[in-house]
Amino acid sequence: MRLVFGWNHFKIRSFDPFELGLTQKKVNDFTIEVRQSYFHLFWIPFFGLGKKWAIRKNDQLYELPAAYKDTIRQRDDFNMPTPWYTYAGPMLVALVGLCYVVNSKYSYWERHRDFRNEYITIAADNGRKFQKPSPDDYYILAAADGTEKYAHITRLDKRHIQLSYINDPAIRADRPMQMADLFVTYANQLTTITIGRGDSSRLICREYEKRHLFAGMPLNNEDGKTYRIERIIRMDGPIFKDDGYASYYADGGYSFSMNIENEGLPATITSIESVEGDIVWSGDDLPLRAQPDGRIALLGKGNYNKSYKAKITCTDGQGRQLQYIMEGRRMHNTFRKIEL
């Protein structure tokens, strides 16, 4: 990119010579101008370089005679202030910088809001599942230092939950199905602990701002750490999530395709219908097979920039009917299973 800079000047004010006391004639064929010199970058004024007086005659500028200059210097009432727009460049840079800071702060606030809302939603879901546990539940337990352990419910009664957990913090799983498979691989190396069903307040932190100060509960006396429930994953059907990929088509409307992913058990999507919003969901490709760790493209038409809600109905391998609520805006979605 070529860097364009230089010096220029513009008129601040124009005077009649008689007004300045430079001539006794009331009608003259020239005017006196005071002009602001400035430095510019890409033709944008950045700072002033002083003022100068000039004669304008026949639309041409001429140097002011020395006698005229001496007369004007003696007149304090003709000292012209530097116009603010002489510094348009620094002001523009400051404005761009301010917009950047405000946008960064707003983006940070949006991320913080989204993280907080997601955390509160997950904590509420953890609380519901803890109060009504299932043998299909897998726990992700987190310590204050970021250490994680995976646990699985192996026994239930009215007052207690027995968890079997993998006691090796180096073992990691990226997806729920991988975590479930770990309990088969390490079936002979599991550690068991029993907790009370009334211990949710000791295991689940519902306040986002207190999550780093939440004490949790010790699992054993081996590592001296305490753990809280980070997530309870119920492996009783598909687990849908936003894949992060979507596209739209310029066909005079809002036709789009959005991908969702199944991180749980296999199922077949049999219908998708609108609950809120003006999106019409396409059923042309139904039924759709939702394989574990597989992606499914949902097609629709309507204004996806507004909030929308849809109900997804599917059947699992045992022929059970399962339903999920998908909520989204701008093709970013969250999913919640409907308890039938």
Residue range 61-120, pLDDT digits in tens: 888 888 777 777 777 667 778 888 888 888 999 999 999 999 999 888 888 888 898 889
Q: Which of 200, 234, 268 is the last residue of a domain?
A: 234
Do 249 and 199 lie in one domain? The reply is no
Q: Which of 184, 210, 234 is the last residue of a domain?
A: 234
Q: Determine how many CB atoms are found less than 10 A away from the CB of residue 241.
A: 16
267 bridge partner residues: 290, 316
Q: Is residue 261 located within the same domain as residue 228?
A: no
- Looking at the fold, whether 218 and 255 belong to one and the same domain comes out as no
191 and 212 fall within a common domain: yes
How much is the average pLDDT of 331-340? 84
What pLDDT was estimated at residue 134? 93
User: Is there a single domain that holds both residue 265 and residue 304?
Assistant: yes
For residue 128, report the phi and psi dihedrals to the nearest 5 degrees.
Answer: -65, -45
Task: Find the mean pLDDT for residues 29-58.
Answer: 85
Percentage of the chain surpassing pLDDT 70? 96
Q: Are residues 119 and 228 both part of a single domain?
A: yes
Residue 238 has pLDDT above 90, yes or no: yes
Residues 215 and 125 in one domain: yes
Tell me, yes or no, whether 100 lies in a domain: no
**3-class secondary structure, 210:** helix
User: Is the peptide bond preceding residue 287 cis, with omega within 30 degrees of 0?
Assistant: yes
> What's the pLDDT at 56?
87
pLDDT tops 70 at residue 338 = yes
Using the predicted structure, report yes or no on whether residue 30 has a pLDDT greater than 70. Answer: yes
| pLDDT for res 186 | 92
For residue 289, pLDDT beyond 90: yes
CA distance 298 to 242: 11
Predicted local confidence at residue 84, as pLDDT: 84
**pLDDT, position 266:** 93
User: Among 37-41, 75-79, 200-204, whose mean pLDDT is lowest?
Assistant: 75-79
Q: What is the pLDDT of residue 19?
A: 77
Is the separation of the CB atoms in 14 and 32 below 8 Å? Answer: yes
Q: What is the pLDDT of residue 50?
A: 83
Claim to verify: residue 271 and residue 209 sit in the same structural domain:
no
User: Strand pairing of 240-249 and 288-290?
Assistant: unpaired
Q: Is residue 320 part of a domain?
A: yes
Decide the pairing of beta strands 226-234 and 280-281: unpaired
Is 188 among the domain residues?
Answer: yes
Specify if 16 maps to a domain: yes
Q: Are residues 38 and 73 in the same domain?
A: yes
Residue 174: per-residue pLDDT: 87
Same-domain status, 152 and 186: yes
Domain end position, chosen among 66, 82, 98: 82
Q: 3-class SS at 196?
A: strand
Residue with tokens 């001429």: 62
- What's residue 2's pLDDT? 59
Instruction: Using pLDDT thresholds of 50, 70 and 90, give the confidence band for residue 44.
Output: confident
Output the furthest CA–CA distance in the chain (Å, rounded).
113
Q: Provide, rounded to the nearest whole percent, the portion of the chain with pLDDT above 90.
A: 35
Residue 310's pLDDT band (cuts 50, 70, 90)? very high
For 116-171, give the DSSP string: HHHHHHHHHHHHHHHHS--TTEEEEEEETTS-EEEEEEEEE-SSEEEEEEE--TT-
Conformation bin of residue 277: beta by default, left when phi > 0, alpha when psi is -120 to 50: left
pLDDT band for 152, please (50, 70, 90 cuts).
very high
- Asked if residue 110 is part of any domain, the answer here is no
Does position 137 have pLDDT exceeding 90, yes or no?
Answer: yes
- 10 and 74 belong to one structural domain: yes
Instruction: Kindly state whether residue 93 falls inside one of the protein's structural domains.
Output: no
Q: The domain spanning residue 256 has which CATH number?
A: 2.60.40
| Same domain assignment for residues 74 and 57 | yes
Sheet holding 31-41, edge to edge: 5-15, 31-41, 44-57, 60-63
Number of domains in the chain: 3
Residue 262: the pLDDT is 93
Domain-located, residue 134 = yes
Specify if 327 maps to a domain: yes
For the cut 60, the answer to whether the pLDDT of residue 1 exceeds it is no
Domain housing 43: 5-82
CB 10 within 8 A of CB 88: no
